Structure 1
Amino acid sequence: MGDAYAKRVLLTAAGDAVSRGIASTLAKHGCRLVLLGDEGALAATAEEARRCGDGGGGVELVGLDLEACGEAAADAAVDRAWRCFAGLDAFVNCYSYEGEVQDCLSISEDEYRKTIKVNVVTPWFLMKAIAKRFQDTKSGGSIVFLTQIIGAERGLYPGAAAYGTSLGAIHQLVRTPPPPEMYNPECSDSSSGAKVSKNAETLKG
């Protein structure tokens, strides 16, 4: 990460320990961050990242309801994020919804739809929005999705059918070859360190 200085990173987050750690580590290594999500929930994460950085204006917040946004709203949010630092070099998605632990026959339609919306559809909207900008500006960039072992073939856990299905979909999404000039997708399994990648680059550049 020593070469990460001046990289501009869009990070979806919920203010949890994982996203706080990622934000602080990126800031510590010189990255400029745009945190995307619930602005109230991310205020503390932003302050912590600023303390880990140079104390300047290297961390911005862009609000977006990740659980209910449509494609137009997601695209508009990415546009605001893009303008914060006159472009972006990477998108890191580490926001997810686990839902209730229950067997697949007990999951309600609303719960299943919410899980798929938050974990698959919204990240897909965001990926499309930023990848198109990478392509249009010919800048290229990196896209990283964090998942868990439950989304992999070996990750079979009772009561997590909806969550596992959604993370499995993310694994497949990043395995689909993009146009080579668009972006470099990477799926990182945060529980095991395993990665599913296609033309992947790290934030080091």
Structure 2
Amino acid sequence: MTGESRIFAGCSVLVTGGGTGIGRGVALAFARQGARVTVAGRTGSTLKETVALVEAGGGEAAARPADITRAADVSALVEATARQFGGLDVAVNCAGVFPPPAAVADITEEQWHRTFDTNLTGMWLSMKYEIAHMRAHGGGAIVNIASNIGAHRRAPGLAAYAASKAAVGVLTRTAALDHIRDGVRINAVSPGPVDTPMSTLPGETPDAKAARMRDALPVGRVSSTEEIAAAVLHLASPAAASTVGADLVLDGGATA
């Protein structure tokens, strides 16, 4: 890849939930495009694995353990990212949880609150401090990971998850309108099933999962983390300068 094609060269990018799955794929994709990437999450060991993968590819990254449900953690995370890498140009909010499927009457209070604390309150806190820094330093771009479940389709047994992700879509669009005049451009990506452990049923083999997805999705397969990352990079790039408050659905035709 030539220097001219590295469209995020020199940019500082923060990825929450960067230790695994979509977050890791996003971090690696930004690093390949020249960004200096901070990955954040609760589990230090997986964050270090992501950093090692970035560095093995010649990129630069830092691991910062943080709990996005705690305002003090998020504030410190943004400050540390800006201090180490000279600012904050892009933030990608991938951190989230997927609770065990349960009918509405069977969801426990703990499951409900944990889901909303992470998927919604954590998303709000992340944006709150990211936006505050960006608008004070010339702007930036934020991409939130939502879901095709919630705002775009329903699924039995997933009420808490669907409600939290539907709210993320509303939060994203409202924040986009609130802060575009501050120079902060905010959008979302709503994946369907992605090739991560989150899309695998308990005890399911790779062959069984592949067969299930062939039947469930028009495209006949799950999306790769690389496909989701490519959409995130586009929304964060200058090529999407007029894209504000969008929710890009990548679900293999499930909601077509």
**TM-score bracket for the superposition, by shorter chain length:** 0.7 to 0.9
Q: In structure 1, what is the Cα distance between the partners aligned to 2:38 and 2:141?
A: 15
Q: In structure 2, what is the Cα distance between the partners aligned to 1:144 and 1:151?
A: 18
**Equivalent AA in structure 2 for residue 61 of structure 1:** A
**Kept after mapping to 1: 8 A contact 2:11/2:89:** yes
Deviations 1:83-124 (A, max 9, x none): 111101010011110011001110011110000001010111
Post-superposition offset of 1:36: 0.9
Deviations 1:12-55 (A, max 9, x none): 12532322221111111111100111322211111112222x25
Post-superposition offset of 1:178: 1.5
Q: In structure 2, what is the Cα distance between the partners aligned to 1:7 and 1:144?
A: 15
Q: In structure 1, what is the Cα distance between the partners aligned to 2:158 and 2:108?
A: 13
Given candidates 13, 24, 28, the residue that maps to 1:24 is: 28
What residue number does 2:236 align with? 203
Given candidates 57, 60, 63, the residue that maps to 1:61 is: 63
Q: In structure 1, what is the Cα distance between the partners aligned to 2:64 and 2:24?
A: 16
**Kept after mapping to 2: 8 A contact 1:150/1:164:** yes
Which deviates more from structure 2 when the two are superposed, residues 8-17 or residues 28-37?
8-17
Q: In structure 2, what is the Cα distance between the partners aligned to 1:100 and 1:85?
A: 38
Q: In structure 2, what is the Cα distance between the partners aligned to 1:19 and 1:95?
A: 7
Q: Deviating runs (4+, > 4 A) in structure 1?
A: none
**Kept after mapping to 2: 8 A contact 1:92/1:143:** yes
Q: In structure 2, what is the Cα distance between the partners aligned to 1:111 and 1:181?
A: 36
Q: In percent, how many aligned pairs have the same letter? A: 27
**Kept after mapping to 2: 8 A contact 1:2/1:29:** yes
Q: Which has the larger radius of gyration?
A: 2
Deviations 1:47-98 (A, max 9, x none): 112222x25xx201111123xx422232122111221111010100111100
Q: In structure 2, what is the Cα distance between the partners aligned to 1:3 and 1:27?
A: 11
What residue number does 1:51 align with? 56
**Equivalent AA in structure 1 for residue 80 of structure 2:** R
Q: In structure 2, what is the Cα distance between the partners aligned to 1:159 and 1:51?
A: 41
Does the residue aligned with 2:104 lie in a helix, a strand or coil?
Answer: coil
Does the residue aligned with 1:48 lie in a helix, a strand or coil?
Answer: helix
Q: In structure 2, what is the Cα distance between the partners aligned to 1:178 and 1:112?
A: 28
What residue number does 1:189 align with? 190
**Equivalent AA in structure 1 for residue 9 of structure 2:** Y
Does the residue aligned with 1:105 lie in a helix, a strand or coil?
Answer: helix
Given candidates 161, 172, 180, the residue that maps to 2:170 is: 172
Q: Give me the TM-score of the superposition, normalised by structure 1.
A: 0.86
Q: In structure 2, what is the Cα distance between the partners aligned to 1:13 and 1:7?
A: 19
What residue number does 1:12 align with? 16
**Equivalent AA in structure 2 for residue 167 of structure 1:** K
Aligned runs of 1:1-205 on 2, under 5 Å? 2-13=6-17, 15-37=19-41, 38-52=43-57, 54-55=58-59, 58-66=60-68, 69-137=69-137, 139-153=138-152, 155-176=153-174, 177-179=177-179, 180-191=181-192, 202-205=235-238
What residue number does 2:244 align with? none
Point out where structure 1 has 5 or more consecutive residues left out of the alignment. Answer: 195-200
Higher helix share: 2
Does the residue aligned with 2:124 lie in a helix, a strand or coil?
Answer: helix
Cα pair distance change 1:85/1:93, threshold 3 Å: same
Q: In structure 2, what is the Cα distance between the partners aligned to 1:20 and 1:73?
A: 20
Which deviates more from structure 2 when the two are superposed, residues 71-80 or residues 121-130?
71-80
Point out where structure 2 has 5 or more consecutive residues left out of the alignment. Answer: 193-222, 229-233, 239-256
Count of residue correspondences: 192
